[in-house]
Structure 1
Amino acid sequence: MHKTGIAIVGVGLAATPHALALNDLRDQVEVVSVVGRSRERLEPFAHQYGFPLGESYEGVLEDPRVDVVLILTPPHTHLDLVLRAAAARKHVLLEKPLDISISRAELLVQACRDAGVRLGVVFQNRFRPAVQRLASLVHCGALGPLAYAGLDLRWWRPQPYYDEPGRGTYARDGGGVLMTQAIHSLDPLMWLAGDVSSVTGITATTLLHSMEAEDFASAALRFESGASGYVLATTAAFPGFPERIEVAGKNGTAVLEGSALRVVFQDGRTDEFRDPSSSGFSAKPMDFSHTAHRELIKDFCAAIREDRAPSIVGEDALRVQRLIERITLGHGGTS
């Protein structure tokens, strides 16, 4: 098997699970280089994981060994980096969100489409075994037509987390809890329940944090299927609790709480399943397994070899960001 050549761009908070995942996949991928702005961060990161240091992003784009650029930089940098990668005919695997606004995100997705390169997005929760088990039940019709679907994400981040320059600002992150934390759970919610036709939402910054964007959001949803829905998302719930997705259908109700799935059917059957993953819901945001990242990267590289779309594409991320924008605005019909 030809190994997929990958260059890592950025070594911030999100880089660790990717590095662990890439080392697990050494039989399938080769990390060609690691580049970023801070040499002080790059050198220890590259040494720890055994990756070669690169000189610059320009060098990555000119390197014929690089098939994929894995972009892990802050959201406001994504558009420029992706436009340059697409022009160089490099496939892109991009950390969420796509960028800080819908208009920039749409440009990014269109650039990859026009260049004929694959664009994948790091929504790793879809690859968690419990999420996949729940999705199989919903998509095969085992729960029957859906009555409602909801997300309850009550996480905790202490103030020092938001004291990092740019974090929780619109200019760098594009928002707060919705764009940075809840986005990972909104993606599987929409994967399960479909597109949203109408939204009534509120957002706020609570007295627990000093930050520009929201640390609390709540919304009532109407899905295009006719099912109802809800979202509650916050990083002000000390000490942090596993996120909960609940889906009720004509035949039964499924509750996914963290990595534990319980399904109760109206005919008396039950189904219980637990996987070892977690989601960083407490003051340690990277306290979770890298196995879902590994499966996501594996799928993306396979998509390139097989000349197919990856499981999660740019249009999926656009759907989620459009929902986030509508919750932030407080209302919205189909977009």
Structure 2
Amino acid sequence: MTDKPIANLAVIGLGMATKPHLDALAELRGKVNVSGVFNRTRAKAEAVSESFGFPVFDSIDAIAADPHTDGVIIATPPNQRADIVTKMAAAGKHILMEKPIERTLQAAKDIVTECESHDITLGIVFQHRLRQASLRLRALIEQGALGDLGLVRAEIPWWRDQAYYDVAGRGTYARDGGGVLISQAIHVMDLMLSLTGPAISVQALTATTRLHDMESEDFATAGIVFANGAVGSVVATTATYPGEQERLVLDGTKGTAILNGGQLTVTWRDGRTESVGDMSGTGGGADPMAFPCDWHRDVIEDFARAIHDKRQSSITGREALRVHALIEAMTRSSATKTTVEVENV
């Protein structure tokens, strides 16, 4: 514990995705202070206040005007973000935002530009990057231990029942911007790009299976060419009952690394093996929140320290645009039945 919190944060939006944030903030109490919470439904904010002891803000404007609030965690649906970001950035409040940044690549770029123009730290909650296994794999890649990367495979065989998509707006383009790609697979795809570097072209197929009644896709697959010369594939779905751990495989000239959920296994060409991490749940089954808050805690603490140290967070909005560009290219490739170049963002 520190004598004084490193940052005062407010939370905007208290839906299902906020649970690990609230649990993490409770664990960070004394290190990170919660200046208040806000939800469009006042009763929800009061329930959270009763459970966690956090104050309640009456409005977005009240948060923007509060001199004690250094930054905000925005966990609203994507279609509610632009106006909130504009107000917070103008008020000098730093922003940690749930994925995705927005519903389209252009809207996401607009938010990133808005924050940069006001010198605002913009962090994105891609918590898979901060798992112990992911950090170890990043270190191995930076050391060149895997050699030259040749093949990449991302598999996201998750499950969501129909009740999940029966919630108003969920899985629609108007609220979420799409389905499995932008709402679920985005986590693994962002982690993939953070390890491999950018993708330059894709050939994709997206579809809605007979297993769900929804507007957007619950299945997507693509062949990918990366800027470093590697090739790879993505297969993502929320139609695989009862859901399995996601898997990311990187095949290099010196060894193969497999991230299976939160566990990393490396098999070296010389016969050695290495394992790091555990098989903690990641929300791939019927309960999307079936995972610990540890990774969110680390993301929030990093964001708070970035505010205190006057630096960017470890997972920046600008870098997060890469996965938005890949998702847009996959969607366009499927619609046009052609190979599509990924925009260099």
Q: Which residue of 2 aligns with 1:229?
A: 232
Q: Secondary structure at the match of 1:180?
A: helix
Write the mapping of 1:250-329 to structure 2, written as runs, cut at 5 A: 250-275=253-278, 277-329=280-332
- Corresponding residue number in structure 1 for 2:175: 172
Matched, 1:129 2:143: no
The equivalent position to 1:109 in structure 2, one of 109, 112, 115, is 112
Find the counterpart in structure 2 of residue 243 from structure 1: 246
Matches within 5 A, 1:25-174: 25-174=28-177
What is the TM-score normalised by the length of structure 1? 0.98
Counterpart contact for 2:130–2:295, Cα < 8 Å: yes
State the Cα distance separating 1:274 from its structure 2 match. Answer: 2.5
Identity percentage over the alignment?
Answer: 45
TM-score (ref. length: structure 2): 0.95
Pairwise CA RMSD: 1.0
One-letter amino acid of the structure 2 residue matched with residue 333 of structure 1: E
Q: Secondary structure at the match of 1:14?
A: helix
CA contact (8 A) 1:251 1:266 kept: yes
Q: Please list, as runs of the form range in 1=range in 2, the aligned pairs for 1:205-216 lying within 5 A after superposition.
A: 205-216=208-219
**Runs of 4+ residues deviating >3 angstroms:** none
Deviation of the 1:278 alpha carbon: 2.2
Give the unaligned 5+ runs of structure 1: none
Correspondence for 1:187: 190
Structure 2: stretches of 5+ with no match in the other structure: 334-338
For 1:107 and 1:254, locate their aligned partners in 2 and report how far apart those are by CA, in whole Å: 36
Residue aligning to 1:333: 341
Shift of 1:27: 2.1
Deviation at residue 137 of structure 1 after TM alignment: 1.2
Q: Which amino acid aligns with 2:221?
A: S
Partner of 1:16: 19
List per-residue Cα deviations over 1:19-76 (Å, max 9, x = no partner). 1111111122111111110122221112111111111111000000000111010001
d(CA) in 1 for partners of 2:14 and 2:342? 37
Q: Shift in Å at residue 276 of structure 1?
A: 5.7
Q: CA deviation at 1:13?
A: 0.6
The answer on whether the counterparts of 2:326 and 2:342 sit within 8 Å (CA) in structure 1 is no
